[in-house]
Amino acid sequence: MLSDDHLTLERRVTVRIRDGLHARPAAQFVKRARGYAAELWLDHGGRSASAKNAVKLMLLAVKENAEIVLRAEGADAAAALDELTRFLETEDEGTASPLAAAASHDAAPPGDKGTTAPLATAARRGIGASPGVALGPAFRYFPETLEPPHHHVPDAARPAEAARYAAAAERAAAALGQCAALAPESDDAPIGGIAAALVEIVRDADLDAAIRLRIAEGMDAVTAVLDAGGELAATFAGLSDAYMQARAEDVLSVSRAIALACLGRQDPSIATIAEGAIIIADELTAWDLARAPGARIGGIVCARGAATAHAAIIARTRGIPAVFGIAGLEQVADGAMIGLDGSSGEVVIDPDAETLSALRARARGESAARDALAAFRDVAPRTRAGEAIVIAANLGSVGEIGVARQEGAMGIGLFRTELLFIEARRPLDEDEQVAAYARLATAFPDHHVTIRTLDVGGDKPVPGIDIPDEDNPFLGWRGLRYCLDRPELFAVQLRALLRAAVHGNLRIMLPMVSDPDELRRTRALIETCRAALAAAGVPHAVPPLGIMIETPAAALMADSLAAEVAFFSIGTNDLTQYIMAADRMNPRVSGLNRPDHPAVMRAIEMVAAAGRRAGIPVCMCGEAAARPDLIPRFVQLGLTELSMTPAAVLRAKEVVTQI
């Protein structure tokens, strides 16, 4: 089976854990699974469960010696399967053997990591969350577990308990507000934006209401905060998008901070860390790192965490090597020498002389590779024949702007607006959307910013937007189909886009187009919005309108559609799934779900040819756009823009210059 970032990989495994996946090993299994950005499933007895949900795993009743199927989809899918397979095949609940294969997050510098020799037989392997090699003394950071006291508050004392909570929330918000002010978001540093986002969680109206309701019912403030925060975190953790899942950690860290403020306590500070020391912790949150002296931190090693967590983003932004998913850190003594490689995920405690030498050699090689790719940051790449190719970024949050710019992205080829709604847990109003879109436009004044209209339905439930259950949601009421049937929702977004267009080079992109009539209906609604804004004297502009090519109908009708739009953008994820009639979530047909399949490549060729005949640019915003083996083929077919995760931009630029 091909190892593609968005193929579903699968592996058959015989479970050797003594007594099977009961409570304790299930929890350990989930802890490992949650360390990966990949979507992970375990199939057994005709049923399937997320590998990141301990309760559902236990309900599968997987016994010792049972044969199961592990499935994984994502950039680190292969590494996730390696580690989880090793865990399941270890008799003593997966704890007798060290963590298995190394995982490389896509932010790590590219290179042939498969040829890198292991540091030492004693090296532990986890998830490479932030690239770089570090060597330094351990700085232990293990805050005490915070248990809810479950005190019953009598009626007369409840107003005072609510006031205690309110004062604690204000103190927590003020502390983070200072972090945001001291580290404002800039072109290359989203740290201030992350701190500001945490303040928004503290001040979230729904969370506040949930806490106050619990207090009004007799719950003490600390228990109310932890209970409501845990419920909200579970909502985020249950979403399908890896980035949104990682927001659960933010909610829990904010809840802890408020609860501690209620108690008049605070966690131990990282501020006393020695220059070059390596933080070892069970888990670091964005709250922890936003207030930490980043310049003094040599590296980070945690037992838990995901490469999509805000703590990982801060580490990458500050250039701090980090590895997550390393067990047994509680036993490491303060000051013990720690060596780590954030690209390969390797960690060595008390390395010997030979390992020290290997670490230093890796550091030199890593520095050279980083310097080589950094040369492409401001490059507008051209092939050797002189053809210019735009390398843009796919984003789902305005907080990712700094990372995209730091990685040299030439604008935004896909901004997923539904993630704004999911993060807010409600539909955003017009002014809120204008603010977000305008911020994106001004961040890339020399390049276009492509905003995809709401792509809800399918696997994207959005709080506050009612989408009924369907037998086959991927063939149902989703994307543009849904928006055209909900003009009161769609018009708000279109007005916001027209208003934001005065701030930069915005483009509007429509998802799930299947028929030219959908375009005509959208244009009519845009004209209605334009006329209303003009009548009200509101500054606005009408951006170029393009479509995603992700249905077979759109590919087959590309010539007709090209006459109606300013650009095409090929979404390879859905296009592959629909052309091959192969659900990428179904392991039995995952071998068909390949963007390099001749049928899919033929469709891409048809679309590119239609674009050339109509004189419009043809872009690609599916994950296949980042594959070094496919980029030359896409360029040969006539694609002029490739958009991808920010971490893949520099490598893609380098590939283009070698075509």
Which sequence positions are flagged as catalytic? 310, 621
Q: What gap in Å lies between CA 313 and CA 194, rounded to an integer?
A: 9
CB 348 within 8 A of CB 288: no
Tokens of 414: 């896909």
CB 606 within 8 A of CB 562: no
Q: Which residue has the tokens 């594959």?
A: 627
Q: What gap in Å lies between CA 486 and CA 525, rounded to an integer?
A: 11
From the list 550, 75, 131, the residue with the least C-alpha distance to 365 is: 131
Q: What gap in Å lies between CA 382 and CA 574, rounded to an integer?
A: 29
Q: What gap in Å lies between CA 448 and CA 506, rounded to an integer?
A: 6
Query: What is the rounded end-to-end Cα distance, in angstroms, of the chain?
Result: 27
Phi/psi at 303 (nearest 5 deg)? Answer: -75, -30
Look up residue 51 and give its amino acid: A
Which residues are CB-neighbours of 656 under 8 A, at least 6 positions away?
381, 382, 383, 389, 391, 631, 635
CB 425 within 8 A of CB 209: no
Helices (H), 21-157: 23-33, 54-59, 77-88
CB 150 within 8 A of CB 224: no
Output the DSSP codes for 484-514. HH-HHHHHHHHHHHHHHGGGS-EEEEESS--
Residue 297's DSSP bridge partners are 277
**What single-letter DSSP state applies at residue 270?**
S
CB 127 within 8 A of CB 36: yes
3-state helix, strand, coil in the chain (%, to 5): 45, 15, 35
Tokens of 307: 């490469």
CB 430 within 8 A of CB 500: no
From the list 201, 216, 304, the residue with the least C-alpha distance to 256 is: 201
CB 362 within 8 A of CB 635: no
Tokens of 197: 């986002």
Phi/psi at 439 (nearest 5 deg)? Answer: -65, -40
Q: CA 641 from chain center: how many Å?
A: 22
CB 13 within 8 A of CB 85: yes
From the list 312, 237, 212, the residue with the least C-alpha distance to 56 is: 237
Which residues are CB-neighbours of 114 under 8 A, at least 6 positions away?
none
